[in-house]
Structure 1
Protein backbone atom coordinates (compact mmCIF):
# COMPACT_ATOMS: atom_id res chain seq x y z
CA UNK A 1 0.00 0.00 0.00
CA UNK A 2 2.97 2.32 0.47
CA UNK A 3 6.50 2.48 -0.91
CA UNK A 4 9.30 4.86 0.09
CA UNK A 5 12.65 5.50 -1.58
CA UNK A 6 15.46 7.65 -0.17
CA UNK A 7 18.06 8.86 -2.68
CA UNK A 8 21.36 10.58 -1.88
CA UNK A 9 23.13 12.58 -4.58
CA UNK A 10 26.83 13.37 -4.97
CA UNK A 11 26.04 17.09 -4.69
CA UNK A 12 24.84 16.46 -1.13
CA UNK A 13 21.15 16.67 -1.92
CA UNK A 14 18.54 14.19 -0.77
CA UNK A 15 15.22 13.15 -2.30
CA UNK A 16 12.41 11.28 -0.58
CA UNK A 17 9.91 9.59 -2.89
CA UNK A 18 6.64 8.37 -1.40
CA UNK A 19 4.05 6.31 -3.26
CA UNK A 20 0.72 5.54 -1.58
CA UNK A 21 -2.02 3.43 -3.16
CA UNK A 22 -5.06 5.47 -4.16
CA UNK A 23 -7.12 2.64 -2.66
CA UNK A 24 -6.38 4.01 0.81
CA UNK A 25 -5.45 7.66 0.40
CA UNK A 26 -6.03 10.75 -1.68
CA UNK A 27 -3.49 13.55 -2.12
CA UNK A 28 -4.60 15.38 1.03
CA UNK A 29 -4.29 12.26 3.18
CA UNK A 30 -0.89 11.49 1.67
CA UNK A 31 0.64 14.92 2.28
CA UNK A 32 -0.65 14.95 5.86
CA UNK A 33 0.73 11.46 6.45
CA UNK A 34 4.17 12.55 5.24
CA UNK A 35 4.03 15.72 7.36
CA UNK A 36 3.09 13.75 10.50
CA UNK A 37 5.84 11.23 9.79
CA UNK A 38 8.35 14.07 9.40
CA UNK A 39 7.15 15.62 12.67
CA UNK A 40 7.81 12.37 14.53
CA UNK A 41 11.32 12.09 13.07
CA UNK A 42 12.08 15.53 14.54
CA UNK A 43 10.93 14.34 17.97
CA UNK A 44 7.47 15.83 17.80
CA UNK A 45 4.21 14.18 18.79
CA UNK A 46 2.15 12.52 16.08
CA UNK A 47 -1.32 13.85 15.28
CA UNK A 48 -4.00 11.20 15.22
CA UNK A 49 -5.99 11.36 11.97
CA UNK A 50 -9.76 10.90 11.86
CA UNK A 51 -11.09 7.71 10.32
CA UNK A 52 -14.66 7.13 9.22
CA UNK A 53 -16.76 5.48 11.89
CA UNK A 54 -19.36 4.07 9.50
CA UNK A 55 -20.06 0.41 10.16
CA UNK A 56 -19.01 -1.80 7.27
CA UNK A 57 -22.20 -3.82 7.75
CA UNK A 58 -24.33 -0.74 7.00
CA UNK A 59 -22.15 0.97 4.42
CA UNK A 60 -23.03 -0.05 0.87
CA UNK A 61 -20.58 0.83 -1.83
CA UNK A 62 -22.58 1.86 -4.94
CA UNK A 63 -22.31 -0.52 -7.85
CA UNK A 64 -20.17 0.57 -10.77
CA UNK A 65 -21.45 -1.21 -13.89
CA UNK A 66 -18.72 -2.18 -16.32
CA UNK A 67 -19.81 -2.48 -19.92
CA UNK A 68 -17.91 -4.29 -22.64
CA UNK A 69 -16.10 -1.76 -24.79
CA UNK A 70 -13.94 -1.96 -27.85
CA UNK A 71 -10.19 -1.84 -27.36
CA UNK A 72 -9.27 1.82 -27.81
CA UNK A 73 -6.71 2.81 -30.40
CA UNK A 74 -3.21 3.45 -29.12
CA UNK A 75 -2.72 7.18 -28.51
CA UNK A 76 0.58 8.79 -27.64
CA UNK A 77 0.44 11.37 -24.85
CA UNK A 78 2.81 14.18 -23.94
CA UNK A 79 3.25 15.69 -20.47
CA UNK A 80 4.60 19.20 -19.95
CA UNK A 81 4.85 21.66 -17.07
CA UNK A 82 3.82 25.30 -17.34
CA UNK A 83 4.41 28.00 -14.71
CA UNK A 84 1.94 30.84 -14.14
CA UNK A 85 3.23 33.66 -11.88
CA UNK A 86 0.72 35.32 -9.56
CA UNK A 87 1.18 38.60 -11.45
CA UNK A 88 -0.01 36.92 -14.66
CA UNK A 89 -2.85 35.17 -12.83
CA UNK A 90 -3.97 38.55 -11.49
CA UNK A 91 -4.05 39.89 -15.05
CA UNK A 92 -6.11 36.86 -16.07
CA UNK A 93 -8.54 37.44 -13.19
CA UNK A 94 -9.00 41.08 -14.23
CA UNK A 95 -9.63 39.98 -17.79
CA UNK A 96 -12.31 37.52 -16.66
CA UNK A 97 -13.94 40.12 -14.39
CA UNK A 98 -14.32 42.41 -17.39
CA UNK A 99 -16.44 39.77 -19.15
CA UNK A 100 -20.21 39.64 -18.81
CA UNK A 101 -22.42 42.06 -16.95
CA UNK A 102 -20.92 41.57 -13.49
CA UNK A 103 -17.50 40.35 -12.21
CA UNK A 104 -17.26 36.74 -11.01
CA UNK A 105 -14.12 37.42 -8.90
CA UNK A 106 -12.50 34.04 -9.62
CA UNK A 107 -9.79 32.44 -7.54
CA UNK A 108 -6.39 31.65 -9.05
CA UNK A 109 -7.38 28.03 -9.60
CA UNK A 110 -10.75 28.93 -11.14
CA UNK A 111 -9.09 31.41 -13.51
CA UNK A 112 -6.41 28.97 -14.61
CA UNK A 113 -8.83 26.05 -14.96
CA UNK A 114 -11.07 28.03 -17.30
CA UNK A 115 -8.11 29.20 -19.40
CA UNK A 116 -6.45 25.79 -19.79
CA UNK A 117 -9.76 24.09 -20.49
CA UNK A 118 -10.45 26.59 -23.28
CA UNK A 119 -6.93 26.14 -24.69
CA UNK A 120 -7.16 22.35 -24.48
CA UNK A 121 -10.50 22.24 -26.28
CA UNK A 122 -9.20 24.71 -28.85
CA UNK A 123 -6.24 22.44 -29.57
CA UNK A 124 -8.56 19.46 -30.07
CA UNK A 125 -10.82 21.48 -32.38
CA UNK A 126 -7.83 22.61 -34.43
CA UNK A 127 -6.44 19.08 -34.75
CA UNK A 128 -9.75 17.51 -35.78
CA UNK A 129 -10.96 20.40 -37.92
CA UNK A 130 -14.34 20.31 -36.20
CA UNK A 131 -15.91 21.31 -32.88
CA UNK A 132 -15.47 18.71 -30.13
CA UNK A 133 -18.16 18.58 -27.40
CA UNK A 134 -16.20 18.51 -24.15
CA UNK A 135 -16.60 17.86 -20.44
CA UNK A 136 -14.64 19.60 -17.71
CA UNK A 137 -14.19 17.15 -14.82
CA UNK A 138 -12.99 18.80 -11.61
CA UNK A 139 -11.78 16.82 -8.59
CA UNK A 140 -13.01 18.38 -5.33
CA UNK A 141 -11.68 17.75 -1.82
CA UNK A 142 -14.81 17.40 0.34
CA UNK A 143 -13.21 18.35 3.66
CA UNK A 144 -14.86 21.51 4.95
CA UNK A 145 -17.18 21.80 1.96
CA UNK A 146 -20.33 19.87 2.90
CA UNK A 147 -23.04 19.72 5.54
CA UNK A 148 -21.45 16.46 6.72
CA UNK A 149 -18.66 18.44 8.46
CA UNK A 150 -15.95 15.89 7.73
CA UNK A 151 -12.97 16.56 10.06
CA UNK A 152 -10.12 18.49 8.43
CA UNK A 153 -7.74 15.57 9.02
CA UNK A 154 -10.09 12.87 7.74
CA UNK A 155 -8.03 10.07 6.23
CA UNK A 156 -8.79 8.05 3.14
CA UNK A 157 -10.30 9.11 -0.16
CA UNK A 158 -12.64 11.98 0.59
CA UNK A 159 -13.17 13.60 -2.78
CA UNK A 160 -15.70 13.67 -5.58
CA UNK A 161 -15.72 14.84 -9.16
CA UNK A 162 -18.06 17.44 -10.61
CA UNK A 163 -18.73 17.68 -14.33
CA UNK A 164 -19.40 20.69 -16.52
CA UNK A 165 -20.67 19.86 -20.02
CA UNK A 166 -19.87 22.16 -22.91
CA UNK A 167 -21.58 21.12 -26.14
CA UNK A 168 -20.78 24.32 -28.04
CA UNK A 169 -17.03 24.05 -27.61
CA UNK A 170 -16.32 26.69 -30.23
CA UNK A 171 -17.79 29.41 -28.02
CA UNK A 172 -16.15 28.84 -24.63
CA UNK A 173 -16.11 31.95 -22.43
CA UNK A 174 -13.91 31.89 -19.33
CA UNK A 175 -16.46 33.55 -17.04
CA UNK A 176 -19.18 31.11 -18.14
CA UNK A 177 -16.92 28.13 -17.43
CA UNK A 178 -16.33 29.44 -13.90
CA UNK A 179 -20.04 30.08 -13.28
CA UNK A 180 -20.95 26.59 -14.52
CA UNK A 181 -18.41 24.83 -12.31
CA UNK A 182 -19.39 26.89 -9.25
CA UNK A 183 -22.98 25.76 -9.70
CA UNK A 184 -21.86 22.13 -9.83
CA UNK A 185 -19.72 22.50 -6.70
CA UNK A 186 -22.54 24.21 -4.79
CA UNK A 187 -24.54 20.99 -4.96
CA UNK A 188 -21.84 19.23 -2.93
CA UNK A 189 -22.88 21.17 0.16
CA UNK A 190 -25.86 18.83 0.46
CA UNK A 191 -23.66 15.72 0.84
CA UNK A 192 -24.54 14.19 4.23
CA UNK A 193 -22.13 11.28 4.55
CA UNK A 194 -19.42 9.24 2.85
CA UNK A 195 -21.93 6.90 1.19
CA UNK A 196 -23.58 9.82 -0.57
CA UNK A 197 -20.14 11.14 -1.54
CA UNK A 198 -19.28 7.77 -3.12
CA UNK A 199 -22.52 7.81 -5.10
CA UNK A 200 -21.80 11.30 -6.42
CA UNK A 201 -18.30 10.27 -7.48
CA UNK A 202 -19.55 7.22 -9.37
CA UNK A 203 -22.48 9.06 -10.94
CA UNK A 204 -20.16 11.79 -12.18
CA UNK A 205 -17.90 9.29 -13.95
CA UNK A 206 -20.85 7.36 -15.36
CA UNK A 207 -22.14 10.62 -16.83
CA UNK A 208 -18.76 11.21 -18.46
CA UNK A 209 -18.53 7.66 -19.82
CA UNK A 210 -22.08 7.67 -21.20
CA UNK A 211 -21.68 11.08 -22.79
CA UNK A 212 -18.86 10.07 -25.19
CA UNK A 213 -17.61 13.68 -25.19
CA UNK A 214 -13.95 14.49 -24.65
CA UNK A 215 -13.08 14.82 -20.97
CA UNK A 216 -10.49 17.10 -19.39
CA UNK A 217 -9.78 16.17 -15.77
CA UNK A 218 -8.50 18.92 -13.47
CA UNK A 219 -7.11 18.41 -9.98
CA UNK A 220 -5.56 21.06 -7.72
CA UNK A 221 -3.31 20.50 -4.71
CA UNK A 222 -2.60 24.21 -4.30
CA UNK A 223 -2.23 25.19 -0.62
CA UNK A 224 -1.66 21.56 0.37
CA UNK A 225 1.36 21.59 2.74
CA UNK A 226 3.89 19.87 0.47
CA UNK A 227 6.48 22.54 1.19
CA UNK A 228 6.02 22.24 4.97
CA UNK A 229 7.48 18.72 5.14
CA UNK A 230 10.64 18.74 7.28
CA UNK A 231 12.44 15.54 8.28
CA UNK A 232 15.06 17.56 10.11
CA UNK A 233 16.98 18.59 7.00
CA UNK A 234 14.88 21.69 6.39
CA UNK A 235 11.88 22.20 4.15
CA UNK A 236 12.07 20.87 0.58
CA UNK A 237 13.54 22.96 -2.21
CA UNK A 238 11.27 21.17 -4.69
CA UNK A 239 8.15 19.02 -4.42
CA UNK A 240 6.69 17.21 -7.41
CA UNK A 241 3.75 14.94 -8.16
CA UNK A 242 4.08 12.04 -10.55
CA UNK A 243 1.60 12.09 -13.40
CA UNK A 244 -0.15 8.76 -13.87
CA UNK A 245 -0.53 6.87 -17.13
CA UNK A 246 -4.30 7.01 -17.42
CA UNK A 247 -5.42 7.43 -21.02
CA UNK A 248 -7.09 10.79 -20.66
CA UNK A 249 -6.46 14.51 -20.74
CA UNK A 250 -5.27 15.30 -17.21
CA UNK A 251 -4.15 18.58 -15.62
CA UNK A 252 -2.78 19.05 -12.09
CA UNK A 253 -2.12 22.36 -10.33
CA UNK A 254 0.48 22.82 -7.58
CA UNK A 255 2.00 25.86 -5.86
CA UNK A 256 5.43 26.95 -7.08
CA UNK A 257 8.26 26.47 -4.53
CA UNK A 258 8.23 30.20 -3.75
CA UNK A 259 4.44 30.28 -3.46
CA UNK A 260 4.36 33.06 -6.05
CA UNK A 261 2.39 31.21 -8.67
CA UNK A 262 0.99 27.90 -9.89
CA UNK A 263 2.72 25.08 -11.74
CA UNK A 264 0.38 23.24 -14.11
CA UNK A 265 1.36 19.75 -15.21
CA UNK A 266 -0.58 19.05 -18.40
CA UNK A 267 -1.08 15.69 -20.10
CA UNK A 268 -2.61 15.78 -23.60
CA UNK A 269 -2.39 13.82 -26.81
CA UNK A 270 0.93 14.59 -28.50
CA UNK A 271 -0.53 16.34 -31.53
CA UNK A 272 -2.82 18.44 -29.36
CA UNK A 273 0.02 19.35 -27.00
CA UNK A 274 2.02 20.87 -29.86
CA UNK A 275 -0.97 23.09 -30.67
CA UNK A 276 -1.82 23.78 -27.02
CA UNK A 277 1.64 25.07 -26.07
CA UNK A 278 1.57 27.55 -28.94
CA UNK A 279 -1.84 28.98 -28.04
CA UNK A 280 -1.67 32.79 -28.12
CA UNK A 281 -3.95 33.24 -25.09
CA UNK A 282 -1.89 30.74 -23.08
CA UNK A 283 1.31 32.67 -23.86
CA UNK A 284 -0.22 35.87 -22.50
CA UNK A 285 -0.28 34.43 -18.99
CA UNK A 286 2.38 31.74 -18.75
CA UNK A 287 6.02 32.21 -17.78
CA UNK A 288 8.31 31.91 -20.79
CA UNK A 289 8.01 28.37 -22.19
Structure 2
Protein backbone atom coordinates (compact mmCIF):
# COMPACT_ATOMS: atom_id res chain seq x y z
CA UNK A 1 0.00 0.00 0.00
CA UNK A 2 1.25 3.49 -0.87
CA UNK A 3 0.17 6.78 0.68
CA UNK A 4 -2.03 7.51 -2.35
CA UNK A 5 -3.84 4.23 -1.73
CA UNK A 6 -4.96 5.36 1.73
CA UNK A 7 -7.95 6.95 0.06
CA UNK A 8 -9.22 3.45 -0.75
CA UNK A 9 -9.15 2.22 2.85
CA UNK A 10 -12.22 2.46 5.09
CA UNK A 11 -12.67 3.72 8.60
CA UNK A 12 -11.79 6.72 10.73
CA UNK A 13 -8.23 7.86 11.40
CA UNK A 14 -7.81 9.69 14.71
CA UNK A 15 -4.78 11.90 15.26
CA UNK A 16 -4.27 12.66 18.95
CA UNK A 17 -1.81 15.53 19.12
CA UNK A 18 -1.40 17.85 16.14
CA UNK A 19 1.84 19.60 16.97
CA UNK A 20 4.79 19.82 14.60
CA UNK A 21 5.19 16.08 14.04
CA UNK A 22 1.52 15.17 14.09
CA UNK A 23 0.74 18.12 11.85
CA UNK A 24 3.46 17.13 9.39
CA UNK A 25 2.06 13.61 9.17
CA UNK A 26 -1.47 14.92 8.62
CA UNK A 27 -0.26 17.22 5.85
CA UNK A 28 1.39 14.25 4.13
CA UNK A 29 -1.75 12.09 4.37
CA UNK A 30 -4.01 14.75 2.92
CA UNK A 31 -1.52 15.51 0.15
CA UNK A 32 -1.48 11.80 -0.66
CA UNK A 33 -5.22 11.70 -1.23
CA UNK A 34 -6.67 10.78 2.15
CA UNK A 35 -10.27 11.99 2.46
CA UNK A 36 -10.27 14.76 5.12
CA UNK A 37 -13.73 13.63 6.25
CA UNK A 38 -12.15 10.41 7.53
CA UNK A 39 -9.81 12.31 9.85
CA UNK A 40 -10.48 13.25 13.47
CA UNK A 41 -7.97 15.53 15.20
CA UNK A 42 -7.87 15.70 18.98
CA UNK A 43 -5.85 18.74 19.97
CA UNK A 44 -6.70 21.07 22.89
CA UNK A 45 -4.65 23.93 21.43
CA UNK A 46 -4.90 23.60 17.64
CA UNK A 47 -2.82 25.87 15.43
CA UNK A 48 -4.44 28.10 12.83
CA UNK A 49 -3.30 25.62 10.17
CA UNK A 50 -5.06 22.73 11.89
CA UNK A 51 -8.22 24.77 12.54
CA UNK A 52 -8.33 25.73 8.85
CA UNK A 53 -8.57 22.06 7.92
CA UNK A 54 -12.07 21.94 9.39
CA UNK A 55 -13.30 23.71 6.26
CA UNK A 56 -11.94 20.78 4.24
CA UNK A 57 -13.86 18.25 6.32
CA UNK A 58 -11.45 17.31 9.12
CA UNK A 59 -13.30 16.85 12.42
CA UNK A 60 -11.65 18.72 15.28
CA UNK A 61 -12.26 17.69 18.90
CA UNK A 62 -15.67 16.06 18.32
CA UNK A 63 -17.79 15.65 21.46
CA UNK A 64 -18.48 11.96 20.88
CA UNK A 65 -16.11 9.05 20.24
CA UNK A 66 -16.47 5.73 18.44
CA UNK A 67 -13.98 2.96 17.70
CA UNK A 68 -11.68 4.02 14.86
CA UNK A 69 -9.65 2.08 12.33
CA UNK A 70 -6.46 3.88 13.36
CA UNK A 71 -5.49 6.03 16.33
CA UNK A 72 -2.17 7.87 16.04
CA UNK A 73 -0.70 8.99 19.36
CA UNK A 74 1.41 12.10 18.86
CA UNK A 75 1.02 13.72 22.28
CA UNK A 76 3.97 14.50 24.55
CA UNK A 77 5.09 11.33 26.39
CA UNK A 78 4.76 13.09 29.74
CA UNK A 79 1.06 13.78 28.99
CA UNK A 80 0.16 10.31 27.79
CA UNK A 81 -0.91 8.80 31.10
CA UNK A 82 -3.28 11.73 31.64
CA UNK A 83 -4.61 11.84 28.07
CA UNK A 84 -4.84 8.07 27.55
CA UNK A 85 -8.18 7.39 29.27
CA UNK A 86 -9.91 10.04 27.13
CA UNK A 87 -8.59 8.34 23.99
CA UNK A 88 -9.62 4.84 24.99
CA UNK A 89 -13.22 5.18 23.63
CA UNK A 90 -11.71 5.54 20.15
CA UNK A 91 -9.94 2.16 20.50
CA UNK A 92 -11.30 -1.36 20.07
CA UNK A 93 -9.37 -4.62 19.97
CA UNK A 94 -9.26 -4.25 16.18
CA UNK A 95 -7.96 -0.65 16.19
CA UNK A 96 -4.43 0.00 14.98
CA UNK A 97 -2.75 2.21 17.58
CA UNK A 98 0.32 3.93 16.14
CA UNK A 99 2.46 5.74 18.70
CA UNK A 100 5.21 8.21 17.82
CA UNK A 101 5.91 9.12 21.46
CA UNK A 102 9.51 8.82 22.62
CA UNK A 103 10.20 6.30 25.35
CA UNK A 104 6.62 4.98 25.60
CA UNK A 105 6.69 1.19 25.49
CA UNK A 106 4.31 -1.16 23.74
CA UNK A 107 3.36 -2.59 27.13
CA UNK A 108 2.41 0.88 28.44
CA UNK A 109 0.38 1.62 25.32
CA UNK A 110 -1.48 -1.66 25.59
CA UNK A 111 -2.21 -1.04 29.25
CA UNK A 112 -3.52 2.51 28.81
CA UNK A 113 -5.40 2.42 25.49
CA UNK A 114 -5.27 -1.17 24.16
CA UNK A 115 -5.62 -2.10 20.49
CA UNK A 116 -3.01 -3.47 18.10
CA UNK A 117 0.03 -1.32 18.88
CA UNK A 118 2.88 -0.18 16.65
CA UNK A 119 5.56 1.91 18.32
CA UNK A 120 7.39 4.24 15.94
CA UNK A 121 10.01 6.98 16.08
CA UNK A 122 10.01 9.58 13.27
CA UNK A 123 12.15 12.71 13.08
CA UNK A 124 11.56 16.36 12.21
CA UNK A 125 12.61 16.27 8.51
CA UNK A 126 9.20 14.58 8.20
CA UNK A 127 7.89 18.14 7.85
CA UNK A 128 9.38 18.29 4.33
CA UNK A 129 8.84 14.62 3.44
CA UNK A 130 12.48 13.75 4.12
CA UNK A 131 12.19 12.07 7.50
CA UNK A 132 12.99 8.53 8.49
CA UNK A 133 10.89 6.46 10.87
CA UNK A 134 11.69 3.19 12.63
CA UNK A 135 8.72 1.06 13.73
CA UNK A 136 8.24 -2.06 15.84
CA UNK A 137 4.91 -3.96 15.99
CA UNK A 138 3.25 -5.74 18.89
CA UNK A 139 2.53 -9.44 18.46
CA UNK A 140 -1.17 -8.84 17.72
CA UNK A 141 -0.57 -6.47 14.77
CA UNK A 142 -1.85 -8.10 11.57
CA UNK A 143 -0.08 -8.07 8.22
CA UNK A 144 -2.75 -5.70 6.89
CA UNK A 145 -2.25 -3.33 9.82
CA UNK A 146 1.49 -3.37 9.31
CA UNK A 147 0.96 -2.48 5.64
CA UNK A 148 -1.38 0.35 6.63
CA UNK A 149 1.15 1.62 9.17
CA UNK A 150 3.86 1.60 6.53
CA UNK A 151 1.70 3.70 4.19
CA UNK A 152 0.90 6.22 6.92
CA UNK A 153 4.54 6.61 7.91
CA UNK A 154 5.83 6.85 4.33
CA UNK A 155 3.84 10.06 3.96
CA UNK A 156 6.78 11.76 5.70
CA UNK A 157 9.78 9.82 4.35
CA UNK A 158 11.54 6.48 4.62
CA UNK A 159 10.47 3.67 6.96
CA UNK A 160 12.47 0.89 8.58
CA UNK A 161 11.05 -1.98 10.68
CA UNK A 162 12.67 -3.79 13.60
CA UNK A 163 11.48 -6.74 15.67
CA UNK A 164 13.32 -5.88 18.90
CA UNK A 165 11.66 -3.05 20.83
CA UNK A 166 14.81 -2.59 22.92
CA UNK A 167 16.44 -0.99 19.87
CA UNK A 168 14.00 1.93 19.94
CA UNK A 169 15.88 3.84 22.63
CA UNK A 170 19.02 3.96 20.49
CA UNK A 171 16.91 4.75 17.41
CA UNK A 172 15.49 7.73 19.29
CA UNK A 173 19.00 8.87 20.20
CA UNK A 174 20.37 8.56 16.63
CA UNK A 175 17.60 9.57 14.23
CA UNK A 176 14.90 10.97 16.51
CA UNK A 177 17.23 13.45 18.22
CA UNK A 178 19.80 13.47 15.40
CA UNK A 179 18.49 16.51 13.48
CA UNK A 180 19.31 18.66 16.51
CA UNK A 181 22.92 17.49 16.32
CA UNK A 182 23.09 18.53 12.66
CA UNK A 183 21.54 21.93 13.40
CA UNK A 184 24.09 22.40 16.17
CA UNK A 185 26.86 21.61 13.68
CA UNK A 186 25.60 24.38 11.39
CA UNK A 187 25.29 26.74 14.35
CA UNK A 188 28.80 26.11 15.62
CA UNK A 189 30.37 26.07 12.16
CA UNK A 190 28.96 29.56 11.60
CA UNK A 191 30.23 30.69 15.00
CA UNK A 192 33.70 29.34 14.21
CA UNK A 193 33.65 31.19 10.89
CA UNK A 194 32.84 34.44 12.69
CA UNK A 195 35.70 33.78 15.10
CA UNK A 196 37.98 33.32 12.07
CA UNK A 197 37.02 36.76 10.77
CA UNK A 198 34.00 36.23 8.52
CA UNK A 199 31.01 38.58 8.65
CA UNK A 200 28.13 36.97 10.58
CA UNK A 201 25.72 36.86 7.63
CA UNK A 202 28.29 35.27 5.34
CA UNK A 203 29.44 32.75 7.94
CA UNK A 204 25.83 31.73 8.62
CA UNK A 205 25.05 31.32 4.92
CA UNK A 206 28.22 29.33 4.28
CA UNK A 207 27.49 27.01 7.21
CA UNK A 208 23.84 26.40 6.30
CA UNK A 209 24.58 25.71 2.63
CA UNK A 210 27.57 23.54 3.45
CA UNK A 211 25.64 21.34 5.90
CA UNK A 212 22.54 21.05 3.73
CA UNK A 213 24.52 20.54 0.51
CA UNK A 214 26.76 17.89 2.06
CA UNK A 215 23.66 16.14 3.39
CA UNK A 216 22.07 16.07 -0.05
CA UNK A 217 25.29 14.75 -1.58
CA UNK A 218 25.38 12.03 1.06
CA UNK A 219 21.76 11.14 0.30
CA UNK A 220 22.28 10.91 -3.47
CA UNK A 221 25.68 9.22 -3.46
CA UNK A 222 26.11 5.45 -3.30
CA UNK A 223 29.54 5.85 -1.74
CA UNK A 224 30.06 5.39 2.02
CA UNK A 225 30.32 8.57 4.05
CA UNK A 226 33.96 7.75 4.82
CA UNK A 227 34.80 7.78 1.11
CA UNK A 228 32.99 11.09 0.60
CA UNK A 229 35.01 12.52 3.47
CA UNK A 230 38.26 11.24 2.01
CA UNK A 231 37.36 12.75 -1.38
CA UNK A 232 37.39 16.21 0.22
CA UNK A 233 40.66 15.61 2.06
CA UNK A 234 43.96 16.26 0.32
CA UNK A 235 47.04 15.01 2.18
CA UNK A 236 48.61 17.87 4.07
CA UNK A 237 45.82 20.26 3.06
CA UNK A 238 43.40 22.48 4.97
CA UNK A 239 40.74 19.78 5.42
CA UNK A 240 43.33 17.35 6.77
CA UNK A 241 44.41 19.99 9.31
CA UNK A 242 40.81 20.43 10.49
CA UNK A 243 40.13 16.70 10.61
CA UNK A 244 43.21 16.12 12.74
CA UNK A 245 41.31 18.06 15.42
CA UNK A 246 37.83 16.67 14.75
CA UNK A 247 39.07 13.08 14.65
CA UNK A 248 41.40 13.42 17.62
CA UNK A 249 41.00 11.84 21.04
CA UNK A 250 38.53 14.56 22.09
CA UNK A 251 36.88 14.81 18.68
CA UNK A 252 33.62 13.79 17.07
CA UNK A 253 33.66 10.06 17.76
CA UNK A 254 33.91 10.07 21.57
CA UNK A 255 31.72 13.18 21.79
CA UNK A 256 28.90 11.69 19.71
CA UNK A 257 29.18 8.38 21.54
CA UNK A 258 28.58 10.21 24.81
CA UNK A 259 25.76 12.26 23.32
CA UNK A 260 23.94 9.25 21.88
CA UNK A 261 24.45 7.32 25.11
CA UNK A 262 22.91 10.19 27.09
CA UNK A 263 19.89 10.38 24.77
CA UNK A 264 19.47 6.59 24.88
CA UNK A 265 19.53 6.64 28.67
CA UNK A 266 16.95 9.44 28.77
CA UNK A 267 14.66 7.48 26.42
CA UNK A 268 14.83 4.53 28.81
CA UNK A 269 14.04 6.83 31.75
CA UNK A 270 10.91 8.09 29.99
CA UNK A 271 9.64 4.52 29.84
CA UNK A 272 9.68 4.16 33.63
TM-score class normalised by the smaller sequence: under 0.3
Q: Name the TM-score, length of structure 1 as normaliser.
A: 0.23
Larger Rg: 2
RCO higher in structure (CA 8 A, sep ≥6): 1
Which structure dedicates a bigger proportion of its chain to helix? 2
